[in-house]
Structure 1
Amino acid sequence: MISRLFLAGLAIALAPIVAIHAHASSAASASDWAVRLNGFQLAEQALSAIRTSEEGGQAAIQADKDTLEKARVAFSKEPFASDALFVLSLDRGAQQHAVLSAARQLDKRNRLTGLALLQAEVAQNNLERVLPLVDQLSRVEPDLAPQFVSVLSESWSDAGSLSLLEQALRDEPSWATAFWRRIPRDEASLERYAALRERLSPPSDPQTERNLLSAFVETGRFPEAFELYEQARSATDNPDEFYPPIDWRVSETRDVRARLISTDTMDVFVKSNASGEFARKLVALSPGDYRISSEISVKQGNGTLQAKLACASSDTGSNWFATELSGDARVTVPQNTCPYAWLILEASAWESSLDLEAIIEGVELTSI
């Protein structure tokens, strides 16, 4: 499965990269005598002459006979001209794999030959060679790592591919961080991802933990989300690291928006004659009495600020408590209520002639 995905994904990714390099490497400005004497310039000229097209819905790269001949002459003049070998690998009658392997031996920093060799290895179903090559390319070209990972991440349903991925990840390859940050969203794949992460215990990465926490919440895995939150908080000394939606997740619309100043302080803006939600966070509930506390400093305008509680489960998502934010408010959580809820903050400036601007601090839901 992963081989087909790699082949399709990298074929699509390779075409625009080749096109960019072809334009950037154009040797049109070189004089004729310089091109004739310089194998590197001649190789660049051959590279600029390749063409991309579409065959069967996928990108294809082609070189005509004149371009191939120019590449042969370039390589004969300059045996280190790896661009010439890339062009020669497009000759369908040639031994493509051998040509590309030779090109990699000459120049491991050539993006085009690396991608083409990766594509060739995929076509031969040689995943054992694919993963080390992905690692090499990701080290030389870090911006390519997300493209590789987008293909690797499609392998969650293939046991053989997952086994090889696990072996590779144990060595912490250069693409590991990009891989862990790409969280699958379907429940079965997320389960395998979480199990793999637990087995390998990769280094703490706040962005990965934010992404995973969000995925846990989206799929209703609230206990795991809170467990991950505690782990992430204990792993960092940086007070500016936020982990929404257990920390506040703020809205950023044109009319209503908030900006986090710290984990419990936010700068709120509401356009005159507008209203809406500006922040929410996930909270765990048990039956009993709670206090919702806050401190508000209005800088401009006037309006109302309100806190609501709504069950986090999709089947009982209606609001069941609302109160104006003004110091302390009390709420009783009844028996048999939902164990997890959204604490939602809303604001209204319908009756204000000025935009409402306020600083809100310390909004907390605490058991009493």
Structure 2
Amino acid sequence: MSTYVTSNEVKAPAAAYAVGFPPTGTARANSAMMTYGIRTLKDPKAAATKSEVALARAAYRAEPLSSTALSLIIPTMPEGKARQSLLARTGELTRRNSLINEEQIRTAALRGDDTAFFRWLSRSLLTNNDLRAAYVGAMADATAREGAVAALTPVIGPAPSWSDAYWQQVIQRPASLLNAAKLRAAVARAPWRQATISRWDRYLSIGLTNRGQFDAAHALYKGLGLARERNSGNLLSDGDFERQPQLPPFDWQLAVSGTLGASIDEKDKNLLVSAIGGARGFAARQLVSLSPGNYRLGWSLSASMPIDPATLMARVTCAEPGMKIAKIQPISLATGKHAAPFAIPESACRWYWLSIDVALLDDSAGVDAYFRNISLAPAGGGGANARPVPAAEGVNGIAPN
């Protein structure tokens, strides 16, 4: 009979328990859990009944290491040291009991222990695929908390199997973006060294930028090791188009639409801007920090056909919302190698867009334009081979209103 009990304590616990022969601890615990589980299918918030808890207590007396029995007993215990001690010890017995894990998460949240909260969420994510979406969402929401970065770094640092789902979720939580950027920079450092730039990094950078959190976005750029020294004096990243953009908008942000697109050819080292009739908007842009003063924009450009002076323009505009600043005149981009001066007026604005804009009439022919380089530098720096733009294209290269 004992053999029957042992062989059926999992698949038919009620029958095994009814026999009355030992060992009955596991059978009792499983029987109580089965009836409780059936009820939670109809009501996920259902609590264990008195009879289920009594059966679990009897199982615990017979089998003190039964995590199944403890998962029904612990939630009924009053808050206090005894409950916390038993919960902690039960957590050492198993990582796969979802009820124990949920209780660990809830208890850690109540006492404000972020380290334990994220650790138990992580364990649950690794052992319960059914709850993965809910747990990842909870972790993404909790990333906004003060202290979350320090608590999450050792959890995300080893790049667990669910980390991709986490980054996908956290970029959709505006309140969590700042801490998410700090966390991403933290796991890029030793000992984790997650240095590969992913699409989620790009979404995170753009998300911060769209919310006007430029300093945080730039800190992410630096934290990922992308802020390279620019010995040429060019304030723009990759002005010679030697690589694909890694983290816009501090690298080139390229347009992709039905009428307007831009791409970088690493082999030929150029930026191709391709537009058809009716195209309007930026083809490529980059965010740059500029102080008030005089600057010089340089470029080298060729095109598939003659370009009207109003077709291709460079614009420098304050990126910070609500900031009042005198208008900076756009610069008409003529073919050939040119340089044009412009000035950043006195203001509190620090972050500016440098954009290459296209404007084509609906019935106009399309255009393919090739930039060999674009540079932005304080006035007086470099550019000995550049020539001023002819006056017909704007005074000193600056287009009229």
Where on the TM-score scale, by shorter chain, does this alignment land: which range? 0.5 to 0.7
Contact 2:67 2:93 survives alignment (8 Å): yes
Within 1, Cα distance between the matches of 2:74 and 2:278? 65
- Say which of 309, 313, 317 aligns to 1:310: 317
Within 1, Cα distance between the matches of 2:51 and 2:279? 63
Contact 1:293 1:365 survives alignment (8 Å): no
- Say which of 153, 156, 165 aligns to 1:175: 156
Q: Cα–Cα, structure 1 residues 260 and 153, in superposed 2: closer, same or farther, change >3 Å?
A: farther
Partner of 1:19: none
Within 2, Cα distance between the matches of 1:267 and 1:67? 74
Structure 1, unaligned runs of 5 or more: 1-30, 54-59, 156-160
Within 1, Cα distance between the matches of 2:251 and 2:260? 19
- Say which of 242, 247, 258 aligns to 2:246: 242
Letter in 2 for 1:135: R
Q: How does 1:52-71 map to 2 (within 5 A)?
A: 61-65=45-49, 68=52
Q: How does 1:147-166 map to 2 (within 5 A)?
A: 147-148=138-139, 150-155=141-146, 166=150
Letter in 2 for 1:232: L
Q: How does 1:332-351 map to 2 (within 5 A)?
A: 332-334=341-343, 336=345, 341-351=352-362
Measured on the aligned residues, the alpha-carbon RMSD in Å equals 5.5
Identity %: 15
Q: Cα–Cα, structure 1 residues 347 and 290, in superposed 2: closer, same or farther, change >3 Å?
A: closer
- Say which of 56, 67, 91 aligns to 1:104: 91
**Structure 1 residue 273 corresponds to structure 2 residue 278:** yes
Q: Cα–Cα, structure 1 residues 247 and 322, in superposed 2: closer, same or farther, change >3 Å?
A: same
SS at match of 1:63: coil
Cα shift at 1:323: 1.5
* Greater fraction of residues in strand: 1
Within 2, Cα distance between the matches of 1:69 and 1:36? 19
Q: How does 1:108-257 map to 2 (within 5 A)?
A: 108-123=95-110, 125=111, 127=113, 130-132=114-116, 134-135=118-119, 137-138=121-122, 141=125, 144=135, 147-148=138-139, 150-155=141-146, 166=150, 173-175=154-156, 203=193, 205=195, 206=197, 211=204, 215=208, 218-219=212-213, 221=215, 228=222, 231-234=225-228, 240=244, 242-252=246-256, 256-257=260-261
Q: Cα–Cα, structure 1 residues 345 and 364, in superposed 2: closer, same or farther, change >3 Å?
A: same
SS at match of 1:108: coil
Contact 2:87 2:104 survives alignment (8 Å): yes
Partner of 2:37: 47
Cα shift at 1:91: 3.7
Structure 2, unaligned runs of 5 or more: 1-9, 17-25, 127-131, 230-241, 378-382, 384-401
Q: Cα–Cα, structure 1 residues 329 and 148, in superposed 2: closer, same or farther, change >3 Å?
A: same
333-342 or 219-228, larger mean C-alpha shift = 219-228
Q: Cα–Cα, structure 1 residues 229 and 49, in superposed 2: closer, same or farther, change >3 Å?
A: closer
Within 1, Cα distance between the matches of 2:221 and 2:289? 12
Partner of 1:22: none
Within 2, Cα distance between the matches of 1:145 and 1:103? 24
* Greater fraction of residues in helix: 1
Letter in 1 for 2:71: F
* Higher Rg of the two aligned structures: 2
Q: Cα–Cα, structure 1 residues 224 and 81, in superposed 2: closer, same or farther, change >3 Å?
A: same
Within 1, Cα distance between the matches of 2:107 and 2:167? 26
Partner of 2:7: none
Within 2, Cα distance between the matches of 1:133 and 1:229? 26
Within 2, Cα distance between the matches of 1:266 and 1:115? 53
- Say which of 298, 307, 323 aligns to 1:291: 298
Cα shift at 1:325: 5.7
SS at match of 1:153: coil
Paired positions, count: 306
SS at match of 2:297: strand
Letter in 1 for 2:40: I
Cα shift at 1:267: 6.2
**Structure 1 residue 86 corresponds to structure 2 residue 76:** no
Q: Cα–Cα, structure 1 residues 81 and 361, in superposed 2: closer, same or farther, change >3 Å?
A: farther
Cα shift at 1:343: 1.4
Residues 227-278 of structure 1: per-residue CA shift (max 9 Å, x gap): 928942459xx95561221211234556545556669756656565342223
Partner of 1:328: 337
Partner of 1:24: none
Cα shift at 1:332: 0.7
SS at match of 2:56: helix
Within 1, Cα distance between the matches of 2:122 and 2:66? 22
Cα shift at 1:281: 0.4
SS at match of 2:52: helix
Within 2, Cα distance between the matches of 1:149 and 1:364? 39
Q: Cα–Cα, structure 1 residues 227 and 117, in superposed 2: closer, same or farther, change >3 Å?
A: closer
Letter in 2 for 1:247: D
